[in-house]
Amino acid sequence: MSKLVPPHGGKGLTLCLLHGSELVAEKERAEGLKKIEITPGERGDLIMMGIGGFSPLTRFMNKADWQSVCEKFMLSDGTFWPVPVMMTATKEDADAISVGNDIALVCNGELMATMKVDEKFEMTEDMKRKECELVYKGEGEDSADDKFWDVAPEDHPGVIRVLNRKPYCLAGEVKVLSEGEFPTKFKDIYLRPAETRAIFEEKGWSTVAALQLRNPMHRSHEYLCKIAVEVCDGVIIHSLIGALKPGDIPADVRVKCIDTLVKGYFVDDNVVQGGYPLDMRYAGPREALLHATFRQNYGVSRMIIGRDHAGVGDFYGMFEAQEIFDRIPYASYEDACKVPGKALLCQPLKIDWTFYCHKCDGMASMRTCPHGKDDRVILSGTKLRKMLSEGGDIPDHFGRDEVLAILREYYEGLTEKVEIKMQKAASGEAMK
């Protein structure tokens, strides 16, 4: 019997990806169905449902689920879920589809899935604004009541994504026919939940921590991982290999950096590197909950949550992503165990703001270092990207030399550069 945390939802891994003769037959059937173009973000959600990463989800959400997730952090059946997973359609497509129809889902010319539509509803502008306020609005300066709607439609990629949704939503069970380019383009790190669970069990792990990465791994990330290794059986460095916002560093460069760091500075037996196929939502605290939810399906019991997890700009408080874990339904592990399958079991590993301190002569945190900010090298992915994009000098102890060499080579090869905006947390302004 496995010692790993069970998949979320109490149904095991719910896999929607077809194989073999069943896949061939469904692809043939799909050729005769009405085809609906989906977005890259919807494609990522679809693939996660295919491989069991979004267990227990096997469908795009209906209106009742959308409302319950936004308002209560749970599906309409009471199962914890922190962010909506929606499939959208134009009015023209929605008018041509009736409840009960089967449709084919296509992304950039590739057949991705079929879906039996059991509900369609209009996603009104008021509903979009409601989702933005409940899911994407935080407690940071940019989320103030008198500022959020002036700033977010231009500067928050998650809000922009919601506001740009097509006007109708289609709900229904899916049969996934493709994992896109991920199994080939990222063959060395693309891991499905069943595969990570097998790796962890082979290693004899029962408690596993995950580090979420969308930036190149700097010294603070390294330190967080090593803390996790000390208190858990092992850690998975789990990189997002879907789409990011302009100016972020692409997945293949980040993976190369992680490879170099892991080989040079970690005990190999205690670390696994993996990638997953989602796009970033930049939903801050809500996305931190999503990261913990689907990591539970991968066999992870502790989600590393540091400063401004999954944040963007100054929309979120520095540790809001930690605090939200104390406010969700069945927040304590003991209470979660009383409702098997319904509650989130993957718990946060909350770590304070970390940095290199010259006086401490090593990595430290606000909990361990008594010195002032003038003695500290403030580490953040945003700050690193800004310095590299502007060709500036990187302070000592910000990153490992081998990793910085890879990043400098990448930036030197860019023909177009995107301006990197610095939020207060990343710049260190908020540090006392």
Question: pLDDT 10s digit of each residue in the chain, 432 long?
Answer: 889 999 999 999 999 999 999 999 999 999 999 999 999 999 999 999 999 999 999 999 999 999 999 999 999 999 999 999 999 999 999 999 999 999 999 999 999 999 999 999 999 999 999 999 999 999 999 999 999 999 999 999 999 999 999 999 999 999 999 999 999 999 989 999 999 999 999 999 999 999 998 877 788 889 999 999 999 999 999 999 987 767 778 888 888 888 999 999 999 999 999 999 999 999 999 999 999 999 999 999 999 999 899 999 999 999 999 999 999 999 999 999 999 999 999 999 999 999 999 999 999 999 999 999 899 988 666 677 777 777 777 878 888 989 889 988 888 887 766 555 655 555 555 555
Contact by Cβ (8 Å): 132, 152? yes
Rounded distance, CA 342 to CA 291, Å?
17
**Whole-prediction pTM:** 0.93
Q: Which of 161, 214, 219, 376 is catalytic?
A: 214
Domain ranges of the chain: 20-123+165-176, 181-432
Rounded distance, CA 325 to CA 348, Å?
7
Q: Partners of 276 in the beta sheet? A: 240
Contact by Cβ (8 Å): 229, 270? yes
Active site residue 214: yes
What is the DSSP-derived secondary structure letter of residue 143? G
Contact by Cβ (8 Å): 313, 155? yes
**E strands, 187-314, in order:** 208-213, 234-240, 271-276, 302-305
Active site residue 29: no
Could you identify the residue written with the tokens 């229904």? 172
> Cα 219 to the chain's mean position, in Å?
21
Q: Which of 215, 219, 307, 400 is catalytic?
A: 215
Question: Which value, to the nearest 10 degrees, does the dihedral of the CA atoms of residues 385, 307, 241, 15 take?
Answer: -170
Q: What is the DSSP string of 95-142?
A: HT--TT-EEEEEETTEEEEEEEEEEEEE--HHHHHHHIIIII--SSGG
What is the DSSP-derived secondary structure letter of residue 377? E
Q: Determine the CATH number of domain 20-123+165-176.
A: 3.10.400.10
Instruction: Return the closest-CA partner of residue 418 out of 379, 381, 385, 384.
Output: 385
Contact by Cβ (8 Å): 240, 213? yes
Architecture of the domain delimited by 181-432 = 3-Layer(aba) Sandwich (3.40)
Contact by Cβ (8 Å): 80, 340? no
- Residue 41's CB is within 10 A of a number of other CB atoms, namely 21
**E strands, 247-309, in order:** 271-276, 302-305
